[in-house]
């Protein structure tokens, strides 16, 4: 008798049923859709859904079904023309209330959506959308770190009553990146007292003392490890910030990946309104809170060009007048923990929450400076192309403007409001601050738009290749192995369903290389069945009974199947871990395909063949 444990039957049946359930959403297809999200990040309710439906009907825009998904309204269309018309109409009428994003909505039934089942997301090459490649100025991140050390050093020396002549950042090698902080002391300064005061501030840096004709200098240099750590931090922080900004814009299934040492690629499937997205993603915006210099005349400083020592001249964007602010920064946008737009008595406002360190600084400042004025400075950096000696050169420019100044009427610490803004400005500023500031400037160096028609063509060709490939394999197995070949075909089909289910569960984006991985998996998956069937044939030629031949075929082929798949699995895992973009997409499908093919070939095939031949007391021959 050919036997198989009952628990293995149950395991195979349960896995296949679950796989069919999770893979089911992928067979319904998708429609062009408009994703509508409230700009204040509150959920869209049923009343708002009905109002938008009525509005689109009045505008003569033909739409299909609408539903609310994760607080966002999804509106389906039968054509891209209707989708674009609806986008333009909503943006024109509800610019201050809603944010829209062009997307695709699966035609998954409501029951499956309620169960949390979703089709696997499609990559940029299949869905169409926007591809952006950014270059990160990692050296600027090192300079920013040195600027922080410089400011902390000034405070430490001032607290120790040690005079300072100059604090600057320089490069330790000619033409290299600025990696050294140089603190020049006047002749009367006590060098030992200065080094003692800077002990904690410059901890971890290589500190030396130099003798100069005009006095002494303390030189602190970042180590190679610190420079590398700062550059890596800048990359990780920029990637986190870009992800937060994309999510804040309501883009579905975005991909933000590191590429090489200093580049980040952003893939936005389904996005076609690229101007708004690029404007928000690339903005390097942060805040600084400074006290206003009320002892000097800002207008006079602007006219004469002579700025008092310890102050800095700015322009107030609201009233267009010059403002003198103290150079010492109370808090910065890097110390924000949250920022939301709202309403105050004065109008639109941004609610600010600072971390503990910045909160202590704000508390101390407001307590000591009641009835004095404090200003909020918005700092934005962006690339600018200029012509130098007949050549176009891209350089970074910085815009620093006062967006708000007010008298300190009470003591506060880490919770307060910024007012004096327009409604749109408040929302945009809150988004930029909440998503985090960029740790280093980034510049767009490549942009590609992939049309939805091209993506659909890629899908059609990929599916056609998969069908043709599977049909060829199915036909060969049926002709060559007869009934056993049909069993292999069923197992192969189950393998594709199981692989699709895993990709849907993991929310792994399917791209063209992924489709190639599925086709390769189909070809590789049948190898295990071929090894098993050839072993069975070999046992039959030895005169072994059919049932014993089936048992021996699976047992003796196990080691060969395992060895051949493990070597491929190792290569797939390495590509998965170390690869990026299309390579990683291919590796994910390949690795999962190897695991599913081993399960279906070893357990699925055996369960099915045992059902067919195990119940018979005596089997005369096998159709193999």
Instruction: Give the number of domains in the chain.
Output: 4
Q: What does the pLDDT look like over 285-309, one tens digit per residue?
A: 677 888 898 888 888 888 888 888 8
Q: What is the pTM of this model?
A: 0.60
Q: Are residues 593 and 564 in the same domain?
A: yes
Higher pLDDT, 249 or 187: 187
Task: Please check whether residues 16 and 45 belong to one and the same domain.
Answer: no
Any idea which of 132-146, 376-390, 420-434 has the lowest mean pLDDT? 420-434
DSSP character at residue 432:
H
266 inside domain = no
Q: What is the model's pLDDT at position 432?
A: 62
Do 21 and 58 have their domain in common? no
CATH number, residue 311? 3.30.1360.200
The CATH number covering residue 164 comes to: 3.30.70
Q: Which domain-ending residue is among 62, 82, 106?
A: 106
Does position 589 have pLDDT exceeding 60, yes or no?
yes
Residues 477 and 390 in one domain: no
The pLDDT value recorded for residue 259 is: 84
Calpha distance 558→532 (Å, rounded): 8
Higher per-residue confidence, 65 vs 347: 65
Same domain, 20 and 47: no
- Tell me how far the alpha carbon of residue 328 is from its chain's centroid: 34
- Of 180, 207, 226, the one marking the end of a domain is 226
Q: Where does a domain end: 422, 438, 472?
A: 422
| pLDDT 10s digits, 360-372 | 888 888 888 888 8
Mean pLDDT is lowest, of 55-59, 103-107, 278-282, 431-435, for 431-435
Exposure string (b/e) for 469-500, b if CB count within 10 Å is 16 or more?
A: ebeebbeebeeebeebbebbbebbebbbbbbb
State phi, psi for 314 to the nearest 5 degrees.
-130, 175
- pLDDT classification of 129: cutoffs 50, 70, 90: confident
| Within-domain flag for 272 | no
| Residue 508 near residue 120 (C-beta atoms within 8 A) | yes
Structure tokens at 620: 């005369």
**What are the start-end ranges of the E strands in 107-154?**
129-136
Same domain, 91 and 143: no
* For residue 217, pLDDT beyond 70: yes
Helix axes 512-541 and 452-506, enclosed angle (nearest 10): 60
| 3-class state of residue 278 by DSSP | helix
- pLDDT reading at 250 higher than 60: no
Rounded CA gap, 478 and 489, in Å?
Answer: 8
My answer on whether 554 and 608 are in the same domain is yes
pLDDT at residue 277 tops 80 = no
**Residue 418 β-bridge partners:** 350
Residue 77 has φ and ψ, to the nearest 5°, of -135, 160
The 10s digit of each residue's pLDDT in 534-556 is 888 888 888 888 888 888 888 88
Rounded Cα distance between 73 and 52, Å, is 9
Q: How many CA atoms lie within 13 Å of 422's alpha carbon, on the beta-carbon side?
A: 6
User: 241 near 437, Cβ under 8 Å?
Assistant: yes
Q: What's the pLDDT at 175?
A: 62
Say if 547 falls within a structural domain: yes
Q: With pLDDT > 70 as the criterion, what percentage of the chain qualifies? A: 87
CA-CA distance, 202 to 180, in Å (whole number)? 11
How far is it, in rounded angstroms, from Cα 252 to Cα 115?
20
In a domain, 133, yes or no: no
pLDDT at 15 over 70: yes
Summarised one tens digit per residue, pLDDT across range 508-518 is 777 778 888 88
Task: Please check whether residue 311 is in contact with residue 325, taking contact to mean a CB–CB distance below 8 angstroms.
Answer: yes
607 and 458 in a common domain: yes
Which pLDDT belongs to residue 17?
A: 92
CATH code for the domain of 499: 1.20.1640.10
Domain span at residue 483?
6-25+451-613
User: Is the predicted pLDDT of residue 320 greater than 80, yes or no?
Assistant: no
Q: Are residues 479 and 399 in the same domain?
A: no
- Within a domain: residue 499? yes
Do 142 and 95 share a structural domain? no
Residue 244 included in any domain = no
> Is position 128 within any domain?
no
Residue-level pLDDT at 452: 58
Rounded to whole angstroms, the Cα distance separating 74 from 35 reads: 5
Residue 556 falls within a domain, yes or no?
yes
Instruction: Clarify whether residues 200 and 289 are in a common domain.
Output: no
Is 83 in the same domain as 209?
no
């Amino acid at each position: 008798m050919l036997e198989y444990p009952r628990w293995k039957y149950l395991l195979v049946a349960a896995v296949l049923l679950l796989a069919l359930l999770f893979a089911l959403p992928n067979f319904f297809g998708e429609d062009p859709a408009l994703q509508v999200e409230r700009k204040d990040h509150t959920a869209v309710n049923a009343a708002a859904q009905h109002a938008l439906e009525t509005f689109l009907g009045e505008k003569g825009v033909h739409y299909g079904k609408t539903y609310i998904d994760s607080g966002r309204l999804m509106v389906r269309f039968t054509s891209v023309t209707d989708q674009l018309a609806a986008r333009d109409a909503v943006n024109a009428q509800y610019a201050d209330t809603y944010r829209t994003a062009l997307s695709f909505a699966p035609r998954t039934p409501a029951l499956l959506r309620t169960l949390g089942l979703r089709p696997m997301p499609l990559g940029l090459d299949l869905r169409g959308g926007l591809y952006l490649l950014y270059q990160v100025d990692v050296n600027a991140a090192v300079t920013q770190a040195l600027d922080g050390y410089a400011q902390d050093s000034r405070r430490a020396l001032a607290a120790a009553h040690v005079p300072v002549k100059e604090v600057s950042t320089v490069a330790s090698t000619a033409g290299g990146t600025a990696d050294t902080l140089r603190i020049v002391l006047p002749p009367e300064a006590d060098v030992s007292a200065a080094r003692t005061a800077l002990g904690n501030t410059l901890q971890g840096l290589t500190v030396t003392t130099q003798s100069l004709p005009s006095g002494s200098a303390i030189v602190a240099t970042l180590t190679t490890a610190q420079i590398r750590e700062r550059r890596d931090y800048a990359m990780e922080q920029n990637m986190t910030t870009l992800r937060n900004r994309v999510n804040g814009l309501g883009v579905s299934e975005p991909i933000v990946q590191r590429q090489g040492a200093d580049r980040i690629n952003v893939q936005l499937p389904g996005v076609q309104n690229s101007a708004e997205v690029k404007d928000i993603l690339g903005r390097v915006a942060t805040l600084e809170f400074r006290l206003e210099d009320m002892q000097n005349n800002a207008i006079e400083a602007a006219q004469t060009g002579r700025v008092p020592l310890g102050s800095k001249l700015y322009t107030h964007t609201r009233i267009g007048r010059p403002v003198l602010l103290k150079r010492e920064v109370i808090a910065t946008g890097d110390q924000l923990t949250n920022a939301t737009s709202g309403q105050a008595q004065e109008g639109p406002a941004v609610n600010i929450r600072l971390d503990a360190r910045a909160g202590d600084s704000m508390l101390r400042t407001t307590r000591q400076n009641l009835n004095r004025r404090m200003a909020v400075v918005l700092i934005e950096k962006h690339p600018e192309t200029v012509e130098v000696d007949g050549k176009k050169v891209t350089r970074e420019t910085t815009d620093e403007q006062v967006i708000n100044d007010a008298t300190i009427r009470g003591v506060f610490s880490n919770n307060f409001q910024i007012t004096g803004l327009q409604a749109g400005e408040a929302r945009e500023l809150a988004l930029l601050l909440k998503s985090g500031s960029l740790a280093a400037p980034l510049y767009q160096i490549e942009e590609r738009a992939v049309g939805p028609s091209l993506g659909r063509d890629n899908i059609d060709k990929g599916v056609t290749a998969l069908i043709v490939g599977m049909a060829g394999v199915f036909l060969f197995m049926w002709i060559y192995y007869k009934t056993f070949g049909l069993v292999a075909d069923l197992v192969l089909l189950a393998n594709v369903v199981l692989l699709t289910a895993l990709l849907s569960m993991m929310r792994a984006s399917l791209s063209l290389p992924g489709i190639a991985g599925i086709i390769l998996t189909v070809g590789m998956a049948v190898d295990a069945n071929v090894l098993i069937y050839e072993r069975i044939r070999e046992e039959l030629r030895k005169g072994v009974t059919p049932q014993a031949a089936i048992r021996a075929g699976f047992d003796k082929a196990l080691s060969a199947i395992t060895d051949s798949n493990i070597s491929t699995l190792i290569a797939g895992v390495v590509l998965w871990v170390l690869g990026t973009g299309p390579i990683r997409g291919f590796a994910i499908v390949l690795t999962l395909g190897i695991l599913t093919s081993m399960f279906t070939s070893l357990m699925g095939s055996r369960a099915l063949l045992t059902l067919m031949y195990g119940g018979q007391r005596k089997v005369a021959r096998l159709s193999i």
